[in-house]
Amino acid sequence: MITFVLSLALTVSACQTGNDRDSSDETIEEHGIPFRDDGSLTISRNGNVYLSIRMEIADNDSLRARGMMERRSTPEDTGMLFIFDFEEDREFWMANTPLSLDLLFVNADSIVISIKKYLPPLSPQQVPSNGPARFVLEVIAGYSDTMGIIEGDKLSWTRGEQE
């Protein structure tokens, strides 16, 4: 019930902000929302890094509520990392997200606990974490399979420009 109320509140909030349109909103509609390079993220297995991507960080209510909504494309080898203040069971949805995505739910120790693959775009269906998660990484659908990401892999990241 709480999840439903939160989802409804976020949806209403998103609808309300959509009414205040300016020329930058028209540019977003025409070209999509650009990728914001907030840092780098690596994925390792058995202590060995096997993958590095650029990422956007969603670490406040506004950025987490927007997520990858209204994105029509994303650069190759990028993702969006959602950072929450604490670990708990999480639910995400694909409403207003025209891209098909993979979601990696990650616990407080930065270990991937579950992966939801090839999620249908624009779906209001709730996608559960299947366990307490503090972080969620969104990548383009199929990326987990293509790169061999599995449950038990470990994430680490750095904010800022790649050196």
DSSP state of 84: E
CATH number of this structure's domain 2-159: 2.60.120.1140
> Has residue 124 got a pLDDT over 50?
yes
Alpha-carbon span 140 to 116, nearest angstrom: 11
The ranges assigned to domains in the chain are 2-159
**pLDDT value, residue 33:** 79
Report if pTM > 0.95: no
> Has residue 116 got a pLDDT over 60?
yes
- 75-85 mean pLDDT: 95
Query: Residue 103 phi/psi, 5° resolution?
Result: -115, 130
Alpha-carbon span 147 to 142, nearest angstrom: 9
- 96-119 mean pLDDT: 96
Sheet holding 48-58, edge to edge: 112-119, 101-106, 127-140, 78-92, 48-58, 39-45, 154-159
pLDDT digits 0-9 by tens, 21-79: 333 343 344 456 788 999 999 999 999 999 999 999 999 999 998 888 888 888 999 99
Residue 11: band (very low, low, confident or very high) from pLDDT cuts 50, 70, 90: very low
